[in-house]
Amino acid sequence: MTDTALFLHSTGTGPFMWKRLMGSVPEGMQAVAPLNRGYASDDLWPRGQGFEISQDLAHVKSQIPPDTTGLHLVAHSYGGLLAMHLALDPSLPVKSVWLYEPVLFGSMRLMQDQLPPDVAPEVSGLYETPDFIGNEAQGGDDAWLERFIDFWSQPGTWAAMPDKVKGLSRALGWKMFLEVRAQALLMRPVADYRFDVPVTLVHGEHTRVSAREMVRQLAQVNPQATLESLTGLGHMSVVTQADQVLPSLQAHWRGL
């Protein structure tokens, strides 16, 4: 019997993103990084096939080692949304949560009229656009992937990607579209995401204003949470600049 650190990846990535951070887990704790549904070569999501977040949640739960007596959730972006739902699952022995910019665009859309003036246009400009989450014919195609990837990185990121990397994104494109749409349609109040365990909420200094707002909203309903803004980092820095993210996770472990 042991504690388990469960690392949940974001849309369009995979367990590889956690390679540097998984080594930080305390002695005696096992680290597990499952693939979401639709990411394994033998589990690619066929275009046109539907999807619900509950499918990813059930799959991730099935990957938790049976000898786990305490569960520590470490997650990024869409993985953060999954982690928060797992943290609310009374059947799981969740002991702590570390989240880097979890996405809650459905919750933001629910409170659109209450958002700060610099946040509301970003949320509506992306998620109220019919062709982004409403057009299945174009969902996950090259134009969609470019818009999604450039939104979270910077303009020109998709164009600069090597053809091999673009090919991997294309193979995942439909499932990526389904994840993005599912979380945008999940109109659940932020107040529902209240936890009774230690929580660390992290965002990059140079991320999207909507990402900072989602972290801020979560901190408001979790007064016990440690809130961190990492200097010079953005949304994908947990992948591209893991060494600069690592101290935050190490501090989280020390605080348990």
How confident is the model over 222-255, as pLDDT tens digits?
999 999 999 999 999 999 999 999 999 999 999 9
Q: Tens digit of pLDDT for each residue in 2-27?
A: 999 999 999 999 999 999 999 999 99
pLDDT-wise least confident of 122-126, 140-144, 209-213: 122-126
Number of H helices, E strands in the chain: 12, 6
Please compute the mean of the pLDDT values over residues 209-221 and round it to a whole number.
98
- Please give the pLDDT value at position 42: 94
pLDDT value at 165 more than 80: yes
Tokens describing residue 34: 């499952």
In the chain the domains, ranked by start, together with CATH numbers, are 2-104+189-254 (3.40.50.1820), 109-185 (no CATH)
Q: Which two three-digit tokens encode residue 154?
A: 């910077």
Tell me the three state secondary structure of residue 103: coil
Kindly tell me if the per-residue pLDDT of 220 is higher than 80. yes
pLDDT in tens, 68-84: 999 999 999 999 999 99
Amino acid 130: pLDDT: 73
Cα distance between residue 231 and residue 19, in whole Å: 22
Q: What is the mean pLDDT of the chain?
A: 96
pLDDT, residue 126, reads 82
- pLDDT score at 129: 75
- Is the Cβ–Cβ distance between 106 and 78 less than 8 Å? no
